[in-house]
Amino acid sequence: MTTKVTLTVNGQERSAEVEPRTLLVELLRDQLGLTGTHVGCDTTQCGCCVIHVNDKAVKSCTMLAVQAQGSNILTIEGLAAPDGTLHPMQEAFREHHGLQCGFCTPGMVMMGVDIARRLPGADEKTVREQLEGNLCRCTGYQGIVEAILSVANPGAVKEHHHA
Amino acid sequence: MGQFGIGQPLRRKEDPRLLQGRGQYTDDMNVEGQFWGAFLRSPHAHADILSVDLEAARAAPGVKAVYTSADLDADGVPDMPCEVELADLAGAPMWKPMRPILARNRVRFVGECVALVVAQTQAQAREAAELIEINWSPRPSVADAQEALKPGAPLLWPELGQNVPVHWQNKPSTEADAAMAGAAWRVDVNIVNNRLVPAPMEPKAALASWDEQEGKLTLWAPTQGGRKIQANLAKRYLRIAQDKMRVISLDVGGGFGMRGQTYPEYVALVWAAKQIGGAVKWRADRTETFFSDYHGRDQVNEAQMGLDEYGRIVALKIHTLVNLGAYMAENGPRMPIEGGGRIIPCCYHVPHFYFSVKPVFTNTVSTDTYRGAGRPEANFLMERLMDAAAEATGLTRDEVRRRNFITEFPYKTPMGYVIDSGDFARGMDDAMRMAEWDTFEERRAEAYSRGYLRGIGVAAFIEAAGGRAPTEDMRVRAELDGSVTIFSGSHSHGQGHDTVFSQLVNEFLGVEPASVRLVQGDTDVTPRGSIGTFGSRSSMMGGAGIKMSCEKLVAKGVKVAAHLMQSEPDAVTFSQGVFRAGASEMSFTQVAQAAWDATRIPEGMTPGLDEGHNFQREAENFPNGCHVCEVEIDPETGIAEIVRYVAVDDCGAVLNPLIVHGQVYGGVAQGLGQAMIENALYDAEGQFVSATYMDYGMPRAHRMPFIEVGFNTVACRTNPLGVKGAGEAGACGAPPAFIGALVDALRDYGVTHMDMPATPEKIWRAIYGAQFDTQESDGIYAEVT
Ligand code: FES
Ligand code: FES
């Protein structure tokens, strides 16, 4: 038995037939072909799957596709401007070497955008605590924290040692 | 160095793609009409399989096939070998078991593959796997290496008669014993080096596809460069021509050493794809990934060091147990002996060295290479010994190290490896200065006045990089459109090869990085002699291969340029991307483009600038460094916050400081993870109880420090770029720096060592344990749950 869901994804209306158990991330990846959103766990711990649902960061592995009926979804693929200009958070991740293998990155960037929007002026400690639900195995978080700070609170970025 | 060349912190070329969700990881791949695979795994740590009933599974909706070891055996698919050869002092070779791809008659660890179901959807495959009925007869099991040595312990391999397949020693202990007897001081250290899950963020996945028309198999999987896996799959398991097997790993979500192996799942899936004549995709969940990826570390080390009256080491004896797991993985027993053995006894001169290693079988998943692969264990042991030596002799921690550092290079280690260069004392001085070691006691007193405990730790370490395989194959081609393509044998799974290799091409040919393209991770197009990336080898092996290829391009370019500029090759020079002859000049790009036109090159010359080089290394390189860690403990909670972390590294010539520092940050986080919270834990029944991110302590952003980094560069003398690896340094330095700081903070409580992970609970018990009697008081050594 399937249900039809209709939602707006990255500015476009999309619809699909989903099963009651289909996760939102499965709808995005497997049915809509948006493979930028990743799955790193099955216990809602890693945050590789973070997207925005109605302008809020959400772990898309923890929401059913049917729950997203009618909602406005933004994934990593829709973050840059239509002309390809990177979003300031994407640019900051590049500038501060906030990614290595790139697997946690889509979720980190979407979370970073959410943190900077909710908590302008956040200090380093706050940014680190806000990342509680996002795991990265490669970077030691240093470049990620610097990148998010540079958008949320540029004055708080520690002196840069890479020139 | 130019704007984009060697040494510049060029921002990464791969980032715009990865930042926009355009990565191409294995699970992003699909083949039209693909089936899905699911493995049935053992729920038992040790059990006999009395019977298997596949009927219900075969009849389940959507099921195409169900395979067990009987099917693989019927097709003659061989079992998996360990590649390590060792012998005891009498020359008796190590006993080695083989691992069946799918368990045959018996399972030996939780998560071992038993059957493979192929069905139309993933859900159908998983549901059918649950319908397989197995009549199990459980056997007693053992997961801990020390327990497995006890008389009466369950035997993994009864035919061996014990759980130790070899007792390896570097030599008899006689000389070390004699020197030890004459020592002024003797210090003992007993350490459990905790088992870790490598846990790259990308779960394990694979897609195997059979192309009937071409008679060819393709495997997409997260490898560290697929050439060896290709060879194994083709030649050993499928018995087809190597070129009829293609392995593709475009983007890989982290490797850390344990994604280079030919896992049994890959063998079963490619075999199944060929059987059904189609494609089979498999996506492991996190728990399955934790069960089946090889684990790291898991050693027990007992060591005794003797020092003379000046605090100089006279003898060192080390006894190591390494938990192999149930089988022997490709590199399993290699970890302490070759992995750590290349550097042991680390930064110090030891005149008499005795080293004994016993690998031990247990009912756990195999251990193999994980970031550092034996070197973090060796460095941790040596640094704990040096702190103990400081305590015993009354010398400061830096002084006792200084008196024992190796200072003359090249230096031949007791295990016969040659360290070409380094300046260990300068690295330590730099790190201590950056961390304001001199004024630490003031900070300790200030913290104490607030009710907090502060401690500081120092750890010098050495690493070995660029091993094991002594060759790497690279190819550089100047294209007709003016761009340059690198066909790379080494492989990036996060290290930024596209960026750094482009910088090298820029340095040697003058072509802008934006016009350089990296091709990697596809055995159909990467050079034939490619090996891959592990052991921090890409900068030296891949980098040198690019340098040599570029030199060949320039040599040929000189001939073309001479022809075009109507000059003699001898009169043509090349620098910064420009060929010059007298007053005429041509850019590299102009010459390269002309070189494809047969009418514009010397007669008899093959068109095009397209050269490869198989680089053969002379020696490995030896990165080293010194880390200082300062912690502040809240005695109420036992939480140790890292308030300062300094990492000074000698990674030889720096190709891109941004990327080197990134490697250091990531390595430090993994080292701190080991020291603070990570523990792959099997319970008494052999159940793996930390098999999710909820139960396994991954380092998270709020527990990780801001890391201050510095360089103490000494160019390597044995490779053309002067580079040393950077990937594993952090994981070597962080555990001893953190534990050293912790012990320093807890000195007043009589703490001289704390095994990893030093969780808040352990720390709290160390502080309050003395006030509670009985069980709680020895909680410092209790297992963390
Ligand atoms: S996939 Fe791990 S939290 Fe969603
Ligand atoms: S960049 Fe690899 S997991 Fe974060």
Tens-digit pLDDT profile for residues B478-513: 999 999 999 987 888 888 889 999 999 999 999 999
Strand (E) or helix (H) holding A88: helix A88-95
Terminal Cα-to-Cα distance of chain A (whole angstroms): 58
- Is A108 domain-assigned? yes
**DSSP alpha helices (H): ranges in B368-487?**
375-393, 397-402, 424-434, 440-449
Give the one of A43, A95, A109 whose C-beta lies nearest to B692's C-beta: A43
Residue B337 Cα to ligand 2 midpoint, Å, equals 31
The letter for the amino acid at B744 is D
- Is A160 domain-assigned? no
Got the DSSP string for chain A? --EEEEEEETTEEEEEEE-TT-BHHHIIIIIS--TTS----SSS-S-TTEEEETTEEEETTSSBGGGGTT-EEE-GGGTS-TTSPPPHHHHHHHHTT--SS-SSHHHHHHHHHHHHHHSTT--HHHHHHHGGG---SSSTTHHHHHHHHHHH-GGGSPPPS--
pLDDT level of residue B773 (50, 70, 90 thresholds): very low
Quote ipTM for the complex.
0.97
Are B704 and A77 within 8 A, CB to CB?
no
Same domain for A66 and A45? yes
For ligand 1, say whether the CB of A110 is within 6 Å of any of its atoms. Answer: no
Q: Which chain B residues touch A29 with a CB distance below 8 Å?
A: 27-28
pLDDT digits (tens, 9 = 90+) for B397-426: 999 999 999 999 999 999 999 999 999 999
Q: How far is A69 from chain B (nearest CA, A)?
A: 23
CB B316 within 8 A of CB B176: yes
- Is A144 domain-assigned? yes
Give the one of A48, A105, A138 whose C-beta lies nearest to B666's C-beta: A138
No. of helices (H) and no. of strands (E), chain A: 5, 5
- In this prediction, residue B771 carries a pLDDT of 57
**B197-B203-B204 Cα angle (round to 5):** 95
Single residue among A76, A105, A139 that ends a domain in this structure: A76
Are A132 and B700 within 8 A, CB to CB?
yes
Single residue among A43, A76, A109 that ends a domain in this structure: A76
Got the DSSP string for B481-513? TS-EEEEESS--SSS-HHHHHHHHHHHHH---G
| A48 touches B at CB < 8 Å | yes
| A156 touches B at CB < 8 Å | no
Same domain for A127 and A105? yes
Maximum alpha-carbon separation in chain A: 58
CB B579 within 8 A of CB B565: yes
CB A127 within 8 A of CB A148: yes
Question: SS3 letters for A104-117?
Answer: CHHHHHHHHHHHHH
Q: Can you say how many angstroms the Cα of residue B569 is from the centroid of all Cα atoms in its chain?
A: 46
User: From the CA atom positions of chain A, what is the Rg in Å?
Assistant: 16
Q: How far apart are CA B459 and CA B1, in angstroms?
A: 33
CB B318 within 8 A of CB B301: yes
- Does residue A63 sit in helix, strand or coil? coil
Backbone angles phi, psi at B735, to 5 degrees: -60, -50
Minimum Cα–Cα distance from B250: chain A residue: A101
- Does residue B756 sit in helix, strand or coil? coil
Q: How many domains does chain A have?
A: 2
Pocket of ligand 2, beta carbon within 6 A: A 99-105, 136-139; B 201, 253-254, 494
Of B123, B73, B121, B117, whose CA–CA distance to B98 is shortest? Answer: B73
Backbone angles phi, psi at A56, to 5 degrees: -125, 140
Q: Mark the ranges of chain A whose per-residue pLDDT is less than 50.
A: 163
Same domain for A70 and A107? no
| A160 touches B at CB < 8 Å | no
**Tokens linked to A34:** 């948006």
Omega cis (within 30) before B345: yes
CA-to-CA separations, B596 to A112, B681, B725, in angstroms, rounded: 48, 60, 37
Q: How far is B700 from chain A (nearest CA, A)?
A: 6
Q: How far is B707 from chain A (nearest CA, A)?
A: 8
Give the one of B23, B286, B704 whose C-beta lies nearest to A141's C-beta: B704
Q: How far apart are CA B150 and CA B253, in angstroms?
A: 40
Q: How far apart are CA B242 and CA B219, in angstroms?
A: 13
Residue A32 Cα to ligand 1 midpoint, Å, equals 18
CB environment A29-47: b (16+ within 10 A), e (fewer) = bbebebbbbbbbbbeebbb
Class in CATH terms, B15-21+470-514+531-616: alpha beta
Residue A46 Cα to ligand 2 midpoint, Å, equals 11
Q: Which residue from A39, A46, A93, A104 has its CB within 8 A of the most atoms of ligand 2, so it is best to mutate? A: A104
Residue B616 bridge partners (DSSP) = B471
Omega cis (within 30) before B757: yes
Residue A105 Cα to ligand 2 midpoint, Å, equals 6
Same domain for A92 and A149? yes
Q: Is the dihedral of CA B570, B573, B579, B585 positive or negative?
A: negative
DSSP B405: B
Domain boundaries, chain B: 15-21+470-514+531-616, 31-139+201-254+259-292, 296-466+619-768
Are A131 and B702 within 8 A, CB to CB?
yes
Give CATH for domain B296-466+619-768. 3.30.365.10
Q: How far apart are CA B697 and CA B757, in angstroms?
A: 9
Backbone angles phi, psi at B136, to 5 degrees: -95, 150
Q: How far apart are CA B106 and CA B124, in angstroms?
A: 26
Q: How far apart are CA A142 and CA A134, in angstroms?
A: 13
Of B193, B217, B216, B173, whose CA–CA distance to B295 is shortest? Answer: B193
Give the one of B23, B256, B666 whose C-beta lies nearest to A139's C-beta: B666
Burial class (CB in 10 A: 0-12, 13-18, 19+), B575: exposed
With a CB cutoff of 8 Å and minimum separation 6, the contacts of B713 are: B650, B651, B652, B653, B654
Q: Which chain B residues touch A138 with a CB distance below 8 Å?
A: 201, 254, 494, 662, 666
With a CB cutoff of 8 Å and minimum separation 6, the contacts of B425 are: B402, B405, B407
Minimum Cα–Cα distance from A139: chain B residue: B666
pLDDT level of residue B781 (50, 70, 90 thresholds): very low
Are A125 and B702 within 8 A, CB to CB?
yes
pLDDT digits (tens, 9 = 90+) for B665-722: 999 999 999 999 999 999 988 999 999 999 999 999 999 999 999 999 999 999 988 9
Same domain for A63 and A22? yes
Question: SS3 letters for B456-472?
Answer: EEEEEEECCECCCCCEE
Q: Which chain B residues touch A26 with a CB distance below 8 Å?
A: none
Average confidence score pLDDT of chain B: 94
Locate the ligand 2 atom nearest the alpha carbon of residue A108 and give its number. Answer: 4
Same domain for A92 and A70? no
Same domain for A148 and A95? yes
Q: How far apart are CA B392 and CA B752, in angstroms?
A: 11
DSSP B234: I
Q: What percent of chain B clears pLDDT 70, i.e. is strictly above it? A: 98
CB B731 within 8 A of CB A138: no
Got the DSSP string for B585-624? EEEHHHHHHHHT-GGGS-TTPPSS-EEEEEEE-SS-B--E
Are A79 and B285 within 8 A, CB to CB?
no
Are B202 and A162 within 8 A, CB to CB?
no
Maximum alpha-carbon separation in chain B: 93
- In this prediction, residue B358 carries a pLDDT of 98
Single residue among A53, A76, A99 that ends a domain in this structure: A76
Q: How far apart are CA B322 and CA B428, in angstroms?
A: 30
Q: How far is A6 from chain B (nearest CA, A)?
A: 23
**Tokens linked to B615:** 């680089």
Same domain for A107 and A65? no
pLDDT digits (tens, 9 = 90+) for B272-315: 999 999 999 999 999 999 999 999 999 999 999 999 999 999 99
pLDDT digits (tens, 9 = 90+) for B35-81: 999 999 999 999 999 999 999 999 999 999 999 999 999 999 999 99
CA-to-CA separations, B139 to B106, B122, B136, B238, in angstroms, rounded: 10, 32, 9, 33
Give the one of A79, A95, A161 whose C-beta lies nearest to B11's C-beta: A95
User: From the CA atom positions of chain B, what is the Rg in Å?
Assistant: 28
CB B26 within 8 A of CB B206: yes
Q: Which chain B residues touch A37 with a CB distance below 8 Å?
A: 21
Domain at A121, CATH number: 1.10.150.120
Same domain for A8 and A72? yes
Q: Which chain B residues touch A100 with a CB distance below 8 Å?
A: 254, 494-496, 662, 666
CB A75 within 8 A of CB A9: yes
pLDDT digits (tens, 9 = 90+) for B524-535: 998 888 888 887
Does the fold of domain B296-466+619-768 match that of domain B15-21+470-514+531-616? Answer: yes
Same domain for A61 and A102? no
State the ligand closest to the CA atom of A48: 1
Same domain for A150 and A93? yes
Q: How far is B286 from chain A (nearest CA, A)?
A: 5
Are A101 and B252 within 8 A, CB to CB?
yes
Average the pLDDT over B445-469 and give the result: 94
Are A75 and B27 within 8 A, CB to CB?
no
CB B118 within 8 A of CB B280: yes
Q: Which chain B residues touch A145 with a CB distance below 8 Å?
A: 701, 706
Scan for tokens 């603070």, then name that residue: B676
Instruction: List the domain range (segments joined by +) for residue A122.
Output: 88-154
pLDDT digits (tens, 9 = 90+) for B570-609: 999 999 999 999 999 999 999 999 999 999 999 999 999 9
CB B221 within 8 A of CB B266: yes
Q: Can you say how many angstroms the Cα of residue B379 is from the centroid of all Cα atoms in its chain?
A: 15
Q: Tell me: pLDDT of B783 over 60.
A: no
- Does residue B679 sit in helix, strand or coil? coil
Closest residue to atom 1 of ligand 1, CA basis: A39
CATH ID of B31-139+201-254+259-292, from 3.40.50.720, 3.30.390.30, 3.90.1170.50, 3.30.450.20:
3.90.1170.50
Mutation test of the interface with chain A: which of B1, B15, B249, B711, choosing the one with the most A Cβ atoms within 10 A? B15
Average the pLDDT over B139-152 and give the result: 98
| A107 touches B at CB < 8 Å | no
Q: How far apart are CA B390 and CA B384, in angstroms?
A: 10
